[in-house]
Structure 1
């Protein structure tokens, strides 16, 4: 039977191995997402691509700020948020803001695909509207998450010796529990699931119409890349819900038991489980590129074309540069 020290050591080693890998592959995938959706003529024609670009940027920021700070805290016992109040406030503001922002963009992408499944000529399906929604969503969460800056500060831990960055007990703690359950835990997965099911219902309806030999002409007019993006988003939303479900259950449990007197070993177990569940959140932030690559032929094809194109450009540049350098050296030697 392991002791608590051995469990802590195992968790520390696990964080030191997994989290850096997740951050690296997540950044790599986010960069490729932005490049593909920005440059590809087929994919960038859809306003939904803007939501996916900004969602990828948000996921990358989440990994490079939130996941990195957690790695320093768990893996290396470095926690600047427990030393400086302003770091504590900014850290949890970033946690709240960057957790919700990319997920909100994914939700907007799901709504966009739902509207597209109703009618490809819907007035909200435009790049101009998408940019406005992206900006408004960002401003919305910047304002909503201000409570983290106001209330989070350096507190004294339960053992009365170690300073920690945490929220104060009392009314705000109760509010934060319900906020975490309703906003972070339930609202996003629930809304994503609703729009996913609605979109799938519309797709099933269209399939039935095809089998009945009706509306074939209308369906044939729909762009292939639109449906490819839809499939990517649907799978990504399913992955998001699956990876978010464990921590949602934990948030519900934590909110329901916050006023129960707990032993030190129970508190240790709950904190241990929470830390392990955060790894799933980091995996969720790093998964989008790999989900898109596995589920969309058009995405893979466009990625291959871009890699081949820029590889040839780089190869040609190296050849031209080498030729020019060789010519210059030859002239210099001759002179």
Structure 2
């Protein structure tokens, strides 16, 4: 029996060693391409570094200068404006589409595919498609508006319409959140709806008292992902307002700096002005901001996010069980 235990222990040990060997490539890549650059960027954020010359330690100077920089304030303003529009719309429209496509309708699977398919297309391709659609002269959107006698705006050429145009562009990928909502909707036990219907609850009451509470974990999940995504907007703005024969809006961040989002200004600081110290400071400020907001959301989630077990416990308390 003791020999058997020794053999068993040695086999478990062997499996542990094999597991570590399989994970070593990932660990090396994680350290080399994620942890390493993060540590270096944190160091560079406290230095004056232009790539050509060695970094010089300047302490908190980069962070202090950023808050005195009008362009930094502009990038924050534009990013918050975009996030304030795009994030709620993405959550609401994605949820609404999921509820509609969860109904027993003709061609249900086809409609689901149609709404999800655009979300798999890459960011550059999406930007080019919408660049054509938003063209004030030959764009399809203004053509349709003109058919109904409406003079369409200049979209990306108008500072007042530039960010709303990118918000519309972001809704192109709403199918990602829709699929997640749809999967969660289908996991809600039908017995809950049947019991509520027997008790006399109408459709609206069942929606607000069963569907939404049961969906709050997924809403919370999509909220976190959407928050990170909206504050990292870059590709579409760079492609649409950049140069190289496809520029329709003037210059990077144009027109009139109305699309100078945070990540675009970070890119310009790093790779046009070669101020890697300031760019690293911007990257860490963005990281800290998203981290703080995420922590706040997690802390406050206990007041509005309900899980199935918690709902059952609350119902038992109400019934005095």
TM-score by length of 1: 0.28
- So what's the TM-score if we normalise by structure 2? 0.29
Q: Which has the higher helix share?
A: 1
- Higher RCO (Cα < 8 Å, 6 or more apart): 2
